[in-house]
Amino acid sequence: MAEEWTSRAYSISGSPGPASNDLETDRAALTTLVTLAEQHAPLDNAFLDALNIPVTPWVAWQMGIYTEHIAVNTEHALVAARLALWAASRSKDQARVLANMLTAANTCFRVGERDLAETLYEEILVSPLSTGTSERFGAYTGMANVNLSRENLRDAAYYFDKCLTSVHLIVDEEGREGLFVNAAHCYLHCRDAGGALVVLARLNADLAEKLEKELTTQRLSLEERLLIVARLHALGADDKADTLFASWNEEPHAYD
């Protein structure tokens, strides 16, 4: 019988898993799905539908957990992700569809299938049902990392902007720090001083102070300064924007 996994190893917080109304039947269905994954068999919807596996939201949830926890570092990771997607669709539970789609996308990214990962992340982002969900945040972080891995830094910066407003959804300190490090790398290479200042303030106060000092001592044009202030406001750092702009205004001939 398949092991029962009770928690998902997502680095972001999500909704509680669904309950099982018939644990024996659900566990049998889960065992079937895990066995299929571990057989590395090529699968299509017609074949899976013909098996008539009774997939409930609980089974789909557990298959997502299996994919995330157990199968991700195995040779059958993509097969497990494929089955997790099918199980979610079969369960007719939209929350499971979004959650397992994120799991599948993350799995694809980890095994190097970046194009497929990007497609799945985009499907989450265009779904109106993902609005306000942790899966949407997960898709933003995924798209940021996909673009960062391709050195598409401008596109990565766009998605990091989306991430910063919901970074509290990352439940572990290491995960938050990793996002800040990647975002700082991206902003600095894009010469986005405002974005870098916001991220460094959360990551390393000394580095943030050093960057702020550089900004106050450099001879920047009025346009450059206004762009930095606008970025700070856009990222919610209103106090820092006001403080920095005030320090520039105190300089003699500040905008000569």
- The model's pLDDT over 25-75, given as tens digits with 9 standing for 90+, comes to 999 999 999 999 999 877 888 899 999 999 999 999 999 999 988 988 899
Burial of 19 (0-12, 13-18, 19+ CB in 10 A): exposed
pLDDT for res 41: 73
- Digit-coded pLDDT (tens) for 21-36: 999 999 999 999 999 9
User: What distance in Å separates the CA atoms of residue 248 and residue 255, rounded to the nearest whole number?
Assistant: 9
**Strand residue runs (E) in 51-129:** none
Planar angle of CA 4, 123, 98, nearest 5 degrees: 25
Torsion 42-46-50-52 (CA) sign = positive
Angstrom CA distances, 195 to 27, 148, 162, stand at 48, 16, 12
DSSP 3-state assignment of 74?
coil
Half-sphere exposure of residue 138, counting CA atoms within 13 Å on the CB side?
26
Residue 111 has pLDDT above 80, yes or no: yes
Q: Mean pLDDT of all residues in the chain?
A: 89
pLDDT for res 171: 78
What architecture (CATH level 2) is domain 23-190?
Alpha Horseshoe (1.25)
Q: Report pTM.
A: 0.85
Whether 71 and 37 have beta carbons less than 8 Å apart is answered as yes
Among the ranges given (8-17, 99-108, 111-120, 143-152), the one the predictor scored with the smallest mean pLDDT: 8-17
Q: What are the structural domain ranges in the chain?
A: 23-190, 205-256
User: What distance in Å separates the CA atoms of residue 190 and residue 170, rounded to the nearest whole number?
Assistant: 25
Region label for 49, one of left (φ > 0), alpha (ψ between -120 and 50) or beta (otherwise): alpha
pLDDT for res 69: 86
User: What distance in Å separates the CA atoms of residue 189 and residue 195, rounded to the nearest whole number?
Assistant: 11
